[in-house]
Amino acid sequence: MSPAAPAPRPISHSEFVDSTDLLSDPVALRARAAEDGYLFFRRRLPADEILAMRREMLAVVDKYGWRQPGQDDLGGLIDYDAINRLSEEEMHRTDVGVTEAAYHDVQRLERFHRLPHHPRLREIYEQLFGRAVLVHPRHIARLVTPHTCMVPTPPHQDYPYIQGTTNTWTAWFPIGECPRSLGGLAVLRRSHVHGYLPVQPAKGAGGFAVPLCPAETEWVEGDYGLGDVLTFPCHTVHKALRCQFKDRIRLSMDVRYQPADEPVEQRSLNPHCPLTWEEIYRDWQRDDLKYYWKKFPLQMSPWDDGYLTPRRRIC
């Protein structure tokens, strides 16, 4: 008789555990990361820096007429009709929640490229890696509007989209407060231990999802305050929660970090849009972050299409 398939474990939900107290103890920090497959830090980034970033992103949203009138420059109320006048095709050109023109405006913001280098973010990865940190310059902004074609980012791993080293970590942080009702990011605790999981086409950012089957047990989530940061290695499965509002925008950033002496794939050094770096740098006040990655003797690795090739998964 063949042995019966193990019964699927029930799915549970828990709250992020704050790891701030482990930042001074790299051994304990790494042990928690290895155990849980994520780290969460309350108020890691200064509130005034997040609010300044929010003001600049919302000014772009305002420029295109998608914000409701009568709110201050930090208010995230969106004109549902105005945003829904945009075609699905236009929205899908970026999949970040706004049109290509608006996304390019955000990508040109100097502050958007400066924030990921904040010493309080770098400190996390200096402690985790114990050696020089490479901040990937390819930052992603999400301006998740209530356009009807926007669906929450499906469960996925970042490795297929980033490649290079499996030791790359994502930092995800909202640009403003983000209660779970606004659709923050959740992680599947310990999912990194499975390594690469095959993908299937899915709706939502990235266009692929991992079918979860036995891996799906404990989703960890929380209400993000100003400056809170979630970080995880590139095999940790994560997804966005569904936004409960039809009139609010969720602003957030995805940034990647890796040890500078491990392989990196060329796309991680390119902008996350068709602009060139020169076009992005055009109005910057300072030069120190222009092409900063070129000072590292980087070891380049090739792109492999196979990771984003759908395969049947046996549960």
Ligand X SMILES: O=C(O)CCC(=O)C(=O)O
Based on the shown chain and the rule CB under 6 A, indicate whether residue 234 belongs to the binding site for ligand X: no
| Residues in region 123-152 near ligand X by CB under 6 A | 142
Residue 252 pairs with which residues in a beta bridge?
A: 142, 174
The token duo for 280 is 């992005």
For ligand X, which residue of 50, 53, 205, 280 counts as binding (CB under 6 A)?
205
Closer CB to ligand X, 104 or 142, in the complex:
142
- Strand 229-233 versus strand 238-240 pairing type: unpaired
Beta strands 264-265 and 300-301 are: parallel
Residues 6+ apart with CB under 8 A from 7: none
| Burial category of 226 from C-beta neighbours within 10 Å (exposed 0-12, middle 13-18, buried 19 and up) | buried
Among 107, 163, 252, 268, binds ligand X (CB under 6 A): 252
Tell me which of 103, 159, 172, 257 binds ligand X, using CB under 6 A.
172
Residue 185 found at the interface with ligand X (CB under 6 A): yes
Interaction of residue 186 with ligand X, rule CB under 6 A: no
221 forms part of the interface with ligand X (CB under 6 A): no
Nearest to ligand X of 102, 240 (CB atom): 240
Could you say which of 221, 228, 254, 265 contacts ligand X (CB under 6 A)?
254
Of residues 5 and 199, the one with the C-beta less far from ligand X: 199
Amino acid, res. 263 = P
12-15/218-221 β-pairing: parallel
Q: Cβ 177 to ligand X, closest distance in Å?
A: 15
Minimal CB distance residue for ligand X: 254
170, 231, 236, 258: residue in contact with ligand X (rule CB under 6 A): 170
Decide: is 258 part of the binding site for ligand X (CB under 6 A).
no
Q: State the Cα–Cα distance between residues 71 and 91, nearest whole angstrom.
A: 25
Q: Does 158 bind ligand X (CB under 6 A)?
A: yes
Shorter beta-carbon distance to ligand X: residue 67 or 256: 256
Taking CB under 6 A as the criterion, which residues in 51-110 touch ligand X?
none
Task: Provide the binding-site residues for ligand X, judged by CB under 6 A.
Answer: 142, 153, 158, 170, 172, 185, 205, 238, 240, 252, 254
